[in-house]
Every structure is written in structure tokens, then in C-alpha cells.
Chains A and B, each alone.
Chain A
Amino acid sequence: MGSLTEVTNTGDGFMATTIDAVVNWGRKNSLWPMPLGLSCCAIEMMSMVGPRFDLARFGAEAMRFSPRQCDLMIVAGTLTWKMAQAARTIYDQMPEPKWVIAMGVCASSGGMYRNYSVVQGVDLLFPVDMYVPGCPPRPEAVIDAVLKLQKRIERERAWSTGRQRPMPANPRGPILARS
């Protein structure tokens, strides 16, 4: 809590801080992930929450299967266009503020599935904060993404209304390989 300042010279214990610092401190240490486990990466995500890697150390172990209770979407797996509507609906149902981790190369860029059926990166559907490479990424890598995301949350503006990030535009036509 670097931005909290302890004022001790009055003799009474009180602290001066900003709303942003307090709210963001709460948010970053109690992320509730929405596990969008779509394929093999979901297995690593489960082990990340389990006792060996223990995401609970960073306050983000409360996986909820209702998007309305979540603020961190972990897209773990291969997202197909057939599933795109469902994924987008889940994202839309999560209350603001919300963050997204694209776990694995499939979610980040389509990965080895360079074809018509797989979404070539979930950032075609909603804004993504962290991309974790790997097929699948090790649980430590995803934990690292969570920690980096926590650092980023620390610096965000706490109060805002509506959507905080612009939604991706319609690609209109062929999705060429993006480099």
C-alpha cells in the first residue's frame, strides 16, 4: 500500500489517503475470476487454483460460475466462433470494472488453429488486459499475469461509469494473420 500515508504526529492513529488507493487496494486483492474454461488450458487453470500453486495466496481463488459475481475473466482455451456469442454475453454480464486474461496461445491469437472455426484471438470480441503465451502456460505464468494485473489495477481510476474500455470493432471481412 505504497500510496497510503500514515500520519502519526498528532498522537491519534489515523491515515490520510485517496479514495482511488483504498478502492483499488480492495479490488486488486479480491479478484473473483470467471473461469471461461474452453479446453485443455482449463486443466492448468484448475491446478493454478488448487493447493500446489494456490492462487488463494493472492486473493483470487474465489472462482464463480456466475458472471454477475466476477470481475476477472480468464479465457482458458480455444474459443470458436460458434461459442463467440456465449463468451461475449458472459463478458457483457460481468459488472464493471472488469478485466480479462487471455490464457494460452489459443485465446491470445488462435494459436495453432489458424482456421475458419476458431476466433483468432479473443481480443476480436472484447478488450484483453493480459496475454499469457504457452500451450498451455504453466500455472506460475498465469499467476504472474494476475500479479501484473494487480499492479495495473493499483494505478487505475476507481470511479467511472459505463464501459471503461472500447469494444473491438467489427473486422468486416477476412481476418488476416495479425503479426
Chain B
Amino acid sequence: MQTAPDSPSAPLLAALEAAEGGALAPFGVCVAAGIDMPLLEVAPQHLFACMRALRDDAALSFEQLTYVTATDETPKEPRFRVVYHLYSFRHGWRLRVATSVTEEAPNVASLVPIYPGANWMEREVFDMFGITFGGHPELRRILMPEGYMYHPLRKEFPLEGIAPDRLYREWEKEAHAEGSRENGGAH
């Protein structure tokens, strides 16, 4: 970490460095200075415990989960990165936490037990990327129609989108029922 000692993120980096030998020691995290805020990489199996440590450790105390998102890094392996932004009210720090998951097993632990605000944001990531969050109380789509079969922010998804087949099937069924009602009435 080559950060000038007067950089705004220097105190956070120092605190993270100290925590690497303490509260964060079991998780094998990797800290980088980042461009806008420090970046902490953690393996998906340690994410949940690591997040709890980040929130509960008094020297860090990241009380708020600001944002959850993901990126599709195709053709890199592993394919997806799930990214979390944290904010510490006590210190005024921002921290980015990232974890990588593969295409074959795109799942991480849900953070809803730690940060209840993660609920809808994790649903959005599930909707857009198909990444599942183990232990989420209600993991269903939030932006695309129910029963949609694709995850639109994956790189292979076409730009103009794919029509939701399920809606059209339902409409065809309704039109069919309507048609037979009208024919039945004519007899």
C-alpha cells in the first residue's frame, strides 16, 4: 500500500492494516488502496463473518451498508464480482468490499441478518445477474416481471432485451378463453 500519509484514506488503511492482524485475521483479506476508497477483497465463504467483524469491531464500526452491486467480468475467471460499499458513521470512512464468485456456483451469503437494508439490493443483484444469496428471506425478482427467464446485466444478454415469454403466453391463454366465451354465447 503506497498511500501518502496525508491522504484522506490513510487513517482507514492504517486501521485495516491493524485489523488484518486482529479482528479480520481469520478471513485472509487482501487490502488495496483503491482510487476513490480502499478496497478489501475477501473469499465468498468468509464474507459473512468478515462483514460482521467490519461492523462490530470498534476500531472500524462500519454501521451502514450503502450499496450492493455486481460486475460481470467475462471472460475472466471467476466470472462475477459482488461489490459492497460500507460507510462508518463514527469515523466518516467509506470502504469497498468485493468478493468473486464463479459462473458454476454464483452464490454468496446474504447480509440481511447483519444489514437489513441489504434485502432489496440483493434482490436487484439476483434479478440482474442471477447471483443467489444464501439465507435471504425473500429472494425473488424486483425490477423485471415475475417469471422472467433471463438476467439482463449478464454480458451475453442482447441490448434490446428479450420479451417476457410468460406474459405473452398468459395473454394468449386469456384471448383464447375470451374467444371461446364469445363463440359459446352465439349458440
| Bound-state Cα–Cα, A110 to B152, Å | 17
Residue from B144, B153, B160 within 8 A of A82 (CB atoms)? B144
Decide if A130 is an interface residue (CB 8 Å cutoff).
no
Quick check: B160 and A174 within 8 Å, CB to CB? yes
B11 at the interface (CB under 8 A from A): no
User: What is the distance, in angstroms, from B73's C-beta to the closest C-beta of chain A?
Assistant: 19
Nearest CB of chain A from residue B141's CB, rounded to whole Å: 9
1/0 per residue, CB under 8 A from A, across B148-187: the answer is 1000110001111111110111011011000100100000
Q: What is the number of residues of chain A that contact chain B, defined by CB distance less than 8 Å? A: 26
Task: Contact check, A124 vs B163: say whether CB atoms are below 8 A apart.
Answer: yes
For the complex formed, measure the closest distance between the CB of B185 and the CB atoms of chain A, giving whole angstroms: 10
Among A51-59, A99-107, A132-140, A165-173, the stretch that binds chain B is A165-173
In Å, the complex CA distance between A58 and B22 comes to 77
- B171 x A167 contact (CB < 8 A): yes
Q: A18 interface residue, CB < 8 Å from B?
A: no
From B144, B153, B159, A81 is in contact (CB under 8 Å) with B144
Interface membership of B143, Cβ < 8 A: yes
Known: A116-B152, A162-B182, A170-B169. A81 touches B161 (CB 8 A): yes
Known contacts A114-B160, A170-B163, A175-B160; decide if A81 and B182 are in contact (CB<8 Å). no
- List chain B positions with a Cβ less than 8 A from chain A: 143-145, 148, 152-153, 157-165, 167-169, 171-172, 174-175, 179, 182
- Report, nearest first, the 5 A-B pairs whose CB atoms are least far apart: A170-B168, A116-B161, A116-B152, A174-B158, A171-B163
Chain A interfacial positions (CB closer than 8 Å to B): 81-82, 84-85, 88, 92, 110, 114-118, 120, 124, 161-163, 167, 170-177
